[in-house]
Amino acid sequence: MNKDITNRDVDFAQWYTDVCQKADLVDYSSVKGSMIIRPLGYAIWEEMVKVLDQKFKETNHENVQMPMFIPESLLNKEKEHVKGFAPEVAWVTYGGNEKLDERLCIRPTSEVLFCEHFKKIIKSYRDLPLLYNQWCTIVRWEKTTRPFLRSREILWQEGHTMHTTEEEARKETLQMLDIYKKFQEEYLAIPVITGKKTNKEKFAGAEETYTIEAMMYDGYALQNGTSHYFGTHFTKAFDILFLNKDNILEYPYQTSWGVTTRMIGGLIMVHSDDNGLVLPPKIAPWKVIIIPIGNVDEPLKELENTLKENNITYKVDLSNKTPGFKFAEAEVKGYPLRIELGERDFKNKEVTIVRRDTLEKIKVSFKDTLDTILKLLKQMQTDMFNKALERRNKMIYSVNTYEELKDVAQKKAGFIKINWCGSEECENKIKDDTTMKTRCLIEDEEVDNCCVVCGKKAITKVYIGKQY
Amino acid sequence: MNKDITNRDVDFAQWYTDVCQKADLVDYSSVKGSMIIRPLGYAIWEEMVKVLDQKFKETNHENVQMPMFIPESLLNKEKEHVKGFAPEVAWVTYGGNEKLDERLCIRPTSEVLFCEHFKKIIKSYRDLPLLYNQWCTIVRWEKTTRPFLRSREILWQEGHTMHTTEEEARKETLQMLDIYKKFQEEYLAIPVITGKKTNKEKFAGAEETYTIEAMMYDGYALQNGTSHYFGTHFTKAFDILFLNKDNILEYPYQTSWGVTTRMIGGLIMVHSDDNGLVLPPKIAPWKVIIIPIGNVDEPLKELENTLKENNITYKVDLSNKTPGFKFAEAEVKGYPLRIELGERDFKNKEVTIVRRDTLEKIKVSFKDTLDTILKLLKQMQTDMFNKALERRNKMIYSVNTYEELKDVAQKKAGFIKINWCGSEECENKIKDDTTMKTRCLIEDEEVDNCCVVCGKKAITKVYIGKQY
């Protein structure tokens, strides 16, 4: 246990802040609500970007860059959209010393900018589909902020696509949801639940919003990505039309989808512990840290060469701190494997490898180092996912009465599965009584009781949970 | 010649705009002064980022992300700096419906943000050097804007480093200048002149600014990157101190350096022609475009496999346009090599390869396609650089009298080399009389005459030129 890090089971919020700071992921600045992402935090983001960007390109998406400003009149074009976002945008009113004729908001999301551009470049079905993505920063003027989870500036990607048919657009929405799900499960080792948001919880302007819901160590939900089907809401508002194959003008069908640096917050709150950060090997920028102890120049060189040849990223701690201090620092920063390369051990042709997730110490003969590293990295990735999955599954509850719901909501952390009539009234009542919100509809389970709130006929099952 | 593109020698400004638009690099939006970077434009930027980011990391720099906002009081901390930037920043005054207590500018550059962070994290010489870089967007409220060259939003990278000694910081400044120079010459095929800016032209707050100066086809200069040595200007203003090895508090020495999407403008204005974009192979996102004509499924598949195996990026134009139309489009978009894979040619086991820079058509036997592609890509890269170098060198003039200077400035396009006394008065006079500004000091040539303006003793030679 790291003495600078609050115990996770005692004060989860403080523990989270401690890990963010002690692992040198972020720093605060004099700009309220905006964080500084430090080298390790940004390197994790770069790994995420690398994998996702490749997946987007493999599925024929192209990157573009839109302006960061939206004129007020443009934001106002789609009514639901502006209602959802206007209260939380930052407004630019001066350029240099001159007051602007029209104020500009900094994009909270870029639907209206993409629509304006699409209107200019879409003429016929031959121009479709348009499969665009952009990596950028958005701004939402949040009142309370926390590193990675909720900040005024957010690094993210936003995909925006246009299609000739509803079917194709719906397929795109689900394809991107699936890419997010696989990425989070395979790379971040975070088991996720995906499904449709209720009408109340969907994106301002969307016809349907699909969400990625992850459960944190404390049982709270983190909405860790969304994929929206817009239908023709925006294309009608912007009067975007294309000539179809029969030479008839039609509105195209639209999607958008995004994930953010919030995923780093999710990584921390699912995997990290009282010693600091724990990173799944597949997303860790450096898989291995080598800590040489004593005179080990020769085996160090050999080990480095082996790692380089096998494209295993690593760092070497050559500082003049004590081994104990270096071990603790390697732990707090979450290197998946720590290799203690000691002079004495090496005389016996051995090295010690320590797994970050279990802190298990493994002594292996020097010649088996590479094989062991490869095996452990793979094992660790699987183990971390399974551990998170098992914990999450234990924290999903079913209830049959509203009393039971309130009782579980009060006494236990986690998600609750309920039968629901579909009314916003019942949704609101749950929120007022328990602070729990609906996470997403459950599509693969049949309704098996009345609505847990009003007792009327249920139309679907739904997950509810407290959220970040 | 592409009929939609203005003749380059008739109206260079219009030609430039035409190329930007016809090659689908950019689009305009309703946000004045902000451009939309379309897929091809952004793909070129991604190639630049990829190469530079790797060079930064090889030289031990780490990426971070600072807030995009700067509180007014923070911007005001270094006097020269705020004087230089305050007139051209965008101000955020409202967050949602609430007026902010202190207005925030959107970063025009991030020195003050880095300094504030450095002050918190630098304690001792053990924390140094700090070698940081960030990729981000900056905003400068320009009055007149042109795609890539001058816009209100700019994509760029900014390096910010801190060192224990002046010597080390100066070395860093020159190292990064050299990385920029090599990148622009080797990848962009743009010959550049590097050197120190005069006091008048240096960065607001810098002790010395080194610049990368490229000459465009029309003889105008493009400042295509800068590397600054700050000394302790900012560290004193921000009271940043470190304990040196003798346990004495000292101010660290600082640098910053940056390049922007302006480099794309430089690429266009150096290499492109009346048929559209011409891209040096090493920076072209796709090296080859294949245009199949007739039934060539089998050789097309073979060719694609060969290209894939050899990591040569390519596109295939499978649209139902005419071959002539496809050829013109391949030219306007600047694919270095166009492969015309025709049914008739293939019966003779031949293909036609067209070089974009010379438009030379080369018929080769199908089995030699790969070798020819590799050879041509290499040749084209060298030829493009040499052609640009030769043109530039022919457009650098030496003058001995002020009359001659004014005459050359009026009649010829290009740079002029002059002897200069070092006074801002003479510098201003040249600007008033000719609109030419000093580009940079010439360090490798001896003074060989009096100051061309005032006739007093010259202390250095300097390049002057009109600029973008």
Same domain membership, residue B185 and residue B46? yes
Quick check: bond before A129 cis, omega within 30?
yes
In this complex, which of A121, A132, A153 lies closest to B67 when CB atoms are compared?
A: A153
Q: What is the CATH number of the domain that holds B458?
A: 3.30.110.30
Q: Which chain B residues are Cβ-neighbours of A74 within 8 angstroms?
A: 30
Q: What local confidence, expressed as pLDDT, does residue A149 receive?
A: 95
Residue of B nearest to A107 (CA): B31
- Count CA atoms within 13 Å of residue B240 on its CB side: 29
B397-416 tens-digit pLDDT: 999 999 999 999 999 999 99
Interatomic CA distance for residues B426 and B421, integer angstroms: 8
A144-183 pLDDT, tens per residue? 899 999 999 999 999 999 999 999 999 999 999 999 999 9
Region A114-130: mean pLDDT is 97
Q: The sheet that has A337-342: what strands, in order across it?
A: A314-316, A288-293, A337-342, A350-355, A361-365
List the CATH number of the domain containing B260. Answer: 3.30.930.10
Interface test with B, best of A64, A162, A238, A333 (most B CBs within 10 A): A64
Q: Is B254 helix (H, G, I), strand (E, B) or coil?
A: strand
Cβ(B225)–Cβ(B216) below 8 Å: no
- CA-based nearest residue to B350, from B327, B367, B375, B336: B367
Q: How confident is the model at residue A15 (pLDDT cuts 50, 70, 90)?
A: very high
Tokens 């994106």 sit on residue = A203
Element containing residue A91 per DSSP (H, E): strand A90-95
Which letter does DSSP use for residue B188 in this model?
A: S
Question: Looking at the structure, do residues A433 and A328 belong to the same domain, yes or no?
Answer: no
**Same domain assignment for residues A52 and A118:** yes
CATH number at residue A376: 3.40.50.800
In this structure, what are the phi and psi dihedrals at residue A190, rounded to the nearest 5 degrees? -110, 115
> Is B336 part of a structural domain of the chain?
yes
Is the domain of A133 the same as that of A50? yes
Residue B6 lies in a domain: no
Instruction: Please say if the pLDDT value at position B361 is more than 90.
Output: yes
Please report the number of interchain residue pairs, chain A to chain B, with beta-carbon separation below 8 angstroms: 143
Preceding peptide of B147 cis, ω within 30° = no
Q: Which of A383, A418, A448 is a domain's end point?
A: A383
Q: Tell me if A30 is assigned to some domain.
A: yes
Q: Are A153 and B67 in contact (CB under 8 A)?
A: yes
Given this model, what pLDDT does residue B339 score? Answer: 97
CB contact under 8 A, A71 and B30: yes
| Range from A71-80, A184-193, A289-298, B90-99 carrying the lowest mean pLDDT | A71-80
Min mean pLDDT across A226-230, B169-173, B343-347 is at B343-347
Which pLDDT score is estimated for A63?
A: 98
Question: What are the beta bridge partners of residue A324?
Answer: none
Same domain, B263 and B375: no
Instruction: Look at residue B79 in the predicted model and tell me its pLDDT.
Output: 83
B76 within some domain: no
Q: What does the pLDDT look like over B81-121, one tens digit per residue?
A: 888 888 899 999 999 999 999 999 999 999 999 999 999 99
**Same-domain status, B237 and B374:** no
| Chain centre distance of CA A126 | 35
Contact A46 B62 (CB under 8 A): no
CA distance B273 to B279: 11
What's the gap in Å between the CA of A413 and the closest CA on chain B?
Answer: 33
Instruction: Tell whether B86 is covered by a domain.
Output: no
Residue B80 lies in a domain: no
Q: Domain count of chain A?
A: 3
Q: Are residues A48 and A194 in the same domain?
A: yes
Are B48 and B258 in contact by the 8 Å Cβ rule? The answer is no
A117 and B37 within 8 Å at the Cβ level: the answer is no
Cα-Cα-Cα-Cα torsion B396, B399, B403, B408, nearest 10 degrees, comes to -20
**Strand B69-71 relative to strand A98-106: parallel, antiparallel, unpaired?**
unpaired
Across all residues in chain B, what is the average pLDDT?
Answer: 96
Predicted TM-score of the model (pTM): 0.97
Across the interface, of A45, A92, A153, the residue whose CB is closest to B90 is A92
> Residue A40 — pLDDT band, cuts 50, 70, 90?
very high
- Its domain, for residue B414, covers 396-465
Contacts of A80 (CB under 8 A, 6+ apart): A204, A205, A233
C-alpha span between B206 and B255 (Å, rounded): 9
Q: Does residue B38 belong to any structural domain of this protein?
A: yes
| Radius of gyration, CA atoms only, chain A | 25
The alpha carbon of B275 is separated from its chain's Cα centroid by a whole number of angstroms, namely 23
Same domain, B259 and B296: no
